[in-house]
Amino acid sequence: MSQAVIDFCEGLKTTLLAIEDRLAQAKNSLETGAAEARGEARKHLDEATEQLAKFRAHAGVMAEAIKADLPHQTETAKEKLKTFGQEAQVAMRHAVVFLAENTAQALEAGAKSAQRVAENLRHETAVTAPEPEKPAS
């Protein structure tokens, strides 16, 4: 009887160590997935920042063009301001939509990766009850 208890304890110990190892692997996978998602989000944010910088430069050029025309052609300048204002609004909306879409894609990729790891972990760590031993007849 005591050998059966010892064997059971050893089997339990082995199983628990394997589960602990799998949990550590899952944790590493999650951390790696999170790092990849952060990198992807950073990439999209950098792209959006670059586009915003380009827009600012373009807006500066537009402002200089308007300043040059103001003293001579007030009405023409007012029309350009309206056009540039609308153009700026449209460009800003596009930048916001671009940033939101790319951030959502990065977060979605991270969430899918975490879900895959969790499902793999659930399948790998499923514990089944051992069948009771039949007494020898």
Q: What tens digit of pLDDT does each residue of 38-83 get?
A: 888 788 788 888 888 888 888 888 878 767 755 666 666 567 667 7
Distance CA 124, CA 126 (A): 6
Domain membership of residue 62 (yes or no) is yes
Domain membership of residue 136 (yes or no) is no
- When pLDDT is averaged across residues 15-20 and rounded to a whole number, the result is 86
Dihedral of alpha carbons 85, 88, 93, 96, sign: negative
**Domain range holding 12?**
2-124
Give the model's confidence band at 121: pLDDT under 50 very low, under 70 low, under 90 confident, else very high: confident
pLDDT at 131 over 80: no
Domain membership of residue 131 (yes or no) is no
Q: Provide the domain count of the chain.
A: 1
pLDDT at 17 over 80: yes
- Which pLDDT value is given to residue 133? 66
Domain membership of residue 112 (yes or no) is yes
- Which pLDDT value is given to residue 129? 54
Distance CA 70, CA 62 (A): 12
Domain membership of residue 134 (yes or no) is no
Residue type, 57: A
Share the mean pLDDT of the chain: 77
